[in-house]
Amino acid sequence: MHGWLLLLPAAVLLVTFTHYPTVATLYHSFFSTSKPGRPTAWIGLDNYRNMVEDPVFWQVLANNLWYALATIPLSIALAILMAVWVNGKIPGRGLLRLSFFTPTVLPMIAVANIWLFFYTPGYGLLEQVTGLFGLPSHNWLGSRNTALGCLVIVTVWKEAGFFMIFYLAALQSISPHLTEAASLMGAGRWYFFRRVTFPLLMPTTLFVLVNAVINSFRLVDHIVVMTKGGPDNTTALLLYYIYDVGFKFWDSGYAAALTLVLLVILAAFAMGQFLFLDRRVHYQ
Amino acid sequence: MSVTRIARVTAVFLVVFLAGGAMPAAAQAPVELTFYYPVAVGGPVTKIIDGLAADFQKENPGIKVKPIYAGTYQETIVKVLTALKSGEPPQMSVLLSTDMFTLIDEDAIIPFDEAATSAEDKAWMKSFFPAFMLNSQTGGKTWGIPFQRSTIVLYWNKEAFKEAGLDPNRPPASWAEQAEYARKLTRRDASGNVTQWGLKVPSSGFPYWLFQGFTTQNDVLLMNPAGTETYYDKPAVIEALQYWVDLSQKHKVMPTGIIEWGTTPKDFFERQTAMMWTTTGNLTNVKNNAKFDFGVAMLPAGKRRGSPTGGGNFHIFKKSTPAQQVASLKFIKWISSPARAAQWGIDTGYVAVRPDAWETPVMKQYVAGFPAAAVARDQLQYAVAELSTHDNQRVTKALNDGLQAALTAAKTPEQAMKDAQREAERILRPYRR
């Protein structure tokens, strides 16, 4: 009894904000959206059937997978690199740490507006640099083949600093004895990193990986500012499309079905990570 | 006395009693009006609206207007519709005129004809520019009153014209001239890289609006007034898109790919482009930031001149008490009076929405000092309704995707417009009952 009471506050929050919405979403995804003269009705799997036939859905799904495949490894690798660097004894370490972390603190909408001008053809920062090398001007956000890549860079820049903080904390908890022992044994820096540091960072990597996967499906603020999913849906991600369907087209039934797909994808990733990777992670 | 008789008498009694009880209360307590409004640019405009609401309250002590700044147009309609679904919509809101069908389909608003019944009210509803009423009326009823409205105009850099050997005071008047001028204005450095484009027509976000400039000039409409049909794949529409695509891909006077709406004015200030198409709402911005002599002109003519209108209308919501609806109407009439419409146009750069606003002394003086302000008004006679149908945003997205596919050379204009039309057909079929 006592135990249940202690559990109650957390349970109430979980049910109200996690479990109930999930079940409600599932329920609503089996109904049509009410239209003038046609009240909402049970349509079974029709929303899902529409989804299979919806070319935009497949495109945003593919976009999102490419986006995840690019942002996750890049931001994690960069985070480790930065963490190892600012963990060493170098002058101006505090300032360096701060500047790596700054992107995390800045609001995404403001940041996206600045990046919009970085990518502007002609006089944008990027064009000024490429112009120095005599490269021709390129419409970075306006071309099908570079637009998504531009968004990936913004995300990596935004995320890497955040992940760096976790790696930095993990690095500082690694005992200095190990470093001393390794140098006595004559291990090189790369060998030491590969065989000692990196395995010890694995719990952090797992945590960061889970976060990175979630973020790659969750971060859409910059799309609203920078491309609005264009040109021709090449930068639309799943969550952005759900917003479009739910709050621009007001097709709540279809939006519920799409949301459920997002949920299943994320749940599958999280399960896979915890069940499969967890066994291979070495906890101290 | 029969039972029904007793019931009837009691009913009459009750009505008299309730009405008698309710009336004085209504007269005493002020009528409260919640008013959602979007502003494309924040800051000073929010202050103007708050000031107007305060002035109105001073003149009408019985009414309390609570303006709520609700973000962009898109954010505002999201807030309005979610508030409606939770049962507490605002009494009034300024929303995109193109959302009219959505609001009707959601059974959210009342036609002004229901509230404005006196002869004076009827005359007031006829006092606006007819071009602005095209997006405000359907099925013989008026659902919106124009407030912050705009059209597309051409801005040109007079210095660049001089450098290219063109008459700085003569903007292009036809499609052929536009392409020809743009060719002369496009400058390349020794290695062939463009340093100044001839023309930029933005194509991010809502390319359909600018595309409507081209289609109107090619003398073709994109939809029927009932909002149940689209004509994306008509030959004249495809022809209009071909002209737009040709500007970058054939004439090479406009950058290829998608041109960002938000940075186009800056491109103009930075002399990246010698001419641009953008909203009249940018007039004040250009006036303050262009460091060269510039001109504002109507869009060049194809078979005819033309531009869509744009911007926001006032709407009155259904779920309000009759007293609130009367008070809302009073506020909207007050804020759209000629003097206030004129001042609002001068402060923001939107087109003052009624002809008599342009006859006020303050507006006459403003136009005399800054003739560019009148270009949008003069273009109104050629203006058509902005693309608006049932399930508007989805039908519009079909067109936007097609336009962007053609502009990024992923599809031919013909293919892109056929695909867009097929998608629009699929969405609109249920509305043609």
Domain membership flag for residue B401 = yes
pLDDT in tens, B162-217: 999 999 999 999 999 999 999 999 999 887 888 899 999 999 889 999 999 999 99
pLDDT in tens, B1-20: 454 555 555 544 444 444 44
Same domain, B222 and B266: yes
* Interface touch A247/B78, C-beta < 8 Å: yes
Domain membership flag for residue B18 = no
CB pairs under 8 A between A and B: 93
Same domain, B340 and B192: no
C-alpha R_g of chain B: 24
Contact yes or no for B383/B306 (Cβ under 8 A): yes
What pLDDT band is residue B262 in, cutting at 50, 70 and 90? Answer: confident
3-state secondary structure chain A: CHHHHHHHHHHHHHHHHHHHHHHHHHHHCCECCCECCECCCECCCHHHHHHHHCHHHHHHHHHHHHHHHHHHHHHHHHHHHHHHHHHCCCCCHHHHHHHHHHHHHCCHHHHHHHHHHHCCCCCCHHHHHHHHCCCCCCCCCCCCCCHHHHHHHHHHHHHHHHHHHHHHHHHHCCCHHHHHHHHHCCCCHHHHHHHHHHHHCHHHHHHHHHHHHHHHHHCCHHHHHHCCCCCCCCCCCHHHHHHHHHHHCCCHHHHHHHHHHHHHHHHHHHHHHHHHHHHHCCCC
Same domain, B284 and B417: yes
C-alpha R_g of chain A: 23
* Interface touch A233/B401, C-beta < 8 Å: yes
Number of domains in chain B: 2
Domain boundaries, position B139:
28-150+310-380
Closest residue to A36, CB basis, from B105, B404, B407:
B105
* Interface touch A116/B259, C-beta < 8 Å: no
Q: Global pTM?
A: 0.85
Same domain, B220 and B99: no
Answer with the residue of higher pLDDT: B284 or A208.
Answer: A208
The Cα B184–Cα B11 span in angstroms is: 82
The stretch B102-127 carries a mean pLDDT of 90
Domain membership flag for residue B6 = no
Q: Which CATH architecture has domain A54-280?
A: Orthogonal Bundle (1.10)
* Interface touch B410/A232, C-beta < 8 Å: yes
Say yes or no to pLDDT of B404 above 60.
Answer: yes
* Interface contact B362, partner A, CB < 8 A: no
Contact yes or no for B347/B248 (Cβ under 8 A): no
Which of A32, A59, A232 is the best mutation test for B, with the most CBs of B within 10 A?
A232
* Interface touch B260/A116, C-beta < 8 Å: yes
Beta strand B294-297 with B141-142 is unpaired
Say yes or no to pLDDT of B21 above 80.
Answer: no
* Interface contact A116, partner B, CB < 8 A: yes
Same domain, B45 and B161: no
Please give the ipTM for the structure prediction: 0.81
Say yes or no to pLDDT of B314 above 90.
Answer: yes
What's the confidence (pLDDT) of residue B407?
94
Amino acid making up residue B35: F
What's the confidence (pLDDT) of residue B13?
47
Domain membership flag for residue B22 = no
Same domain, B278 and B427: yes
What's the confidence (pLDDT) of residue B15?
45
* Interface touch A231/B260, C-beta < 8 Å: no
The stretch B75-86 carries a mean pLDDT of 90
* Interface contact A230, partner B, CB < 8 A: yes
DSSP per position, B80-106: HHHHHHTT---SEEEEEGGGHHHHHHT
Same domain, B80 and B144: yes
Map tokens 């239209």 to a residue: A35
The stretch B68-80 carries a mean pLDDT of 88
What's the confidence (pLDDT) of residue B400?
94
CATH number of the domain where residue B208 is located? 3.40.190.10
The stretch B226-252 carries a mean pLDDT of 95
Q: Tens digit of pLDDT per residue, chain A (284 long)?
A: 788 888 999 999 999 888 899 999 999 899 888 776 677 888 888 889 889 988 899 999 999 999 999 999 999 999 999 998 888 888 888 898 888 888 989 998 889 989 988 998 888 899 888 888 878 888 889 888 899 999 999 999 999 999 999 999 999 888 888 888 888 888 888 888 888 888 888 889 988 998 999 999 988 889 988 988 878 899 999 999 999 999 888 888 999 999 999 999 999 988 888 788 777 776 65
Same domain, B94 and B42: yes
Same domain, B129 and B239: no
Same domain, B39 and B86: yes
Same domain, B350 and B300: no
Last residue of a domain, one of B380, B395, B411: B380
Domain boundaries, chain A: 54-280
The Cα B341–Cα B330 span in angstroms is: 15
What pLDDT band is residue B40 in, cutting at 50, 70 and 90? Answer: low
What's the confidence (pLDDT) of residue A179?
82
Domain membership flag for residue B173 = yes
Amino acid making up residue A164: M
Same domain, B272 and B421: yes
